[in-house]
Chain A
Amino acid sequence: MGTDGGTGRMTSEEISGRLKEKLPEAVLAFEELPGTAGRVRFRAESALEVFRVVRSDLGYDHLSMVGGIDWVEEREVIYLVWSDLRRNYLLLSTRIAARDAHIESATPVWPSANWHEREAWEMVDIRFDHHPDLRHLLMPDGYAFHPLLRSFKLHEPEELEVKVRRV
């Protein structure tokens, strides 16, 4: 969807080529995704390298969001990054096993990942290693559940009992 003709813009092929060249093992696949430059699937173990390359070599200096998706057996972490130079988005995604899901934190590369990762941890139960401050953000401290897991079901609350105010 991004318009062409600006300076410093790269086509998706160039990006994927650069990624493959820099990180031949970490990058698993490069897919087309409308509205973005593409979707990079990478190996979770080498997350930090991928982040560094995407940020410094490819120039994606703005991290838009970090999200977690629960695919029951495994969990997916998505990173949406934007480059002011290229004027487009790039989606990084990786899958990790649901059992003891953990991945390296992106905060050294993008400081704005801090709250996103806190939220992803408390909602989808993905632990971010070396995160500076991994505690509850939206739920109260000590909340034991991870609501955005598929196993967490919502239900209608029980009927209201209306108290009568004393006069």
Chain B
Amino acid sequence: MAASTEPKEGPNAAFLIVKPMATAARQFVKSLVRPSTIVYPFERLEDPSFREEVKVESGHPIGVGPIWDNYRGVHALNIATCISCNLCAFSCPDLCIEMVTVPGGDPKHPKKCPQIDYGKCSYCGFCSDACPEGCLSMTTRYELSTPNRSEMIYSPQKLHEVFERKLPMNPIRLERPENEDAIRLDAPLCIGCNACSRDCPTSCITMVDTPKPTAKPGEKLPRRIWKEPVINDSDCVRCGTCISVCPKECLFWGTHP
């Protein structure tokens, strides 16, 4: 069952070196026509001319087809559609994303968009996978050298500039799973404080009135606002902001009904 590892090319010539020299000479003749080098600053692999099938016959193994669409390079951020949900920052394994305030939000709830430190980013693409609105995605741009360390920190505006340059973006976007966990309410704990509804980036939480129970004799009703959040699961992006702002820890992840 073991494969034969007998040398397929034995040294046949008495004087030694004919085969390797013939091989090198064949390569020499091949590459006289066109070596497989890409003259980089002038030719680029992402150019359309390299988007061909591998040219086995001519001996130039350059390019194996449309390889570039999926490449993970610099991010592009569409500030206009960003909902400040923080999901990118939470999903970053390298903690290179910081949410910074950008103009456009109201003073009470400032709009926050990701600022990415490319000195830390490992280009894993988890953030763009996590982005519920598709506003953060990865382009194929890779030239990022700079003499200044501080220039490697891309502010949201700079990321938006990348977006406006209409670079090719990763085409493969992941679908939302069918049965997704959703946020549920532990109703007896709720005090109706409106924090979740106020901070929800997609405004999918509405506060509805709950009937105030009548107090039994001797029982003291809790001091609370008699409202409860109702979460619209189809609009919810599952960012968990409401859970983190809830003062009573009454929101939690539950399974889909």
Contacts of A144 in B (CB 8 A): none
CA distance A160 to B149 in the complex (A): 9
- Whose C-beta in chain B lies nearest to the C-beta of A160? B149
CB distance from A138 to the nearest CB of B (A): 22
CB distance from B169 to the nearest CB of A (A): 30
Interface size grouping (class) on chain A: under 10
Interface size grouping (class) on chain B: under 10
CB distance from A111 to the nearest CB of B (A): 27
Over the window 152-183 of chain B, the binary record of Cβ atoms lying under 8 Å from chain A Cβ atoms (1 yes, 0 no) is 00000000000000000000000000000000
CB distance from A161 to the nearest CB of B (A): 10
CA distance A162 to B146 in the complex (A): 13
A156 at the interface (CB under 8 A from B): yes
Over the window 106-145 of chain A, the binary record of Cβ atoms lying under 8 Å from chain B Cβ atoms (1 yes, 0 no) is 0000000000000000000000000000000000000000
- Tell me the chain A residues, 141-167 only, with Cβ under 8 Å from chain B: 156, 160, 162
Contacts of B150 in A (CB 8 A): 162
Q: Is the Cβ of A156 less than 8 Å from the Cβ of B149?
A: no
Contacts of A162 in B (CB 8 A): 148-150
CB distance from B117 to the nearest CB of A (A): 10
CA distance A6 to B251 in the complex (A): 56
CA distance A160 to B117 in the complex (A): 12
CA distance A156 to B95 in the complex (A): 10
5 residue pairs A–B, Cβ–Cβ below 8 Å: A156-B95, A160-B149, A162-B148, A162-B149, A162-B150
Which residues of A does B touch, CB under 8 Å?
156, 160, 162
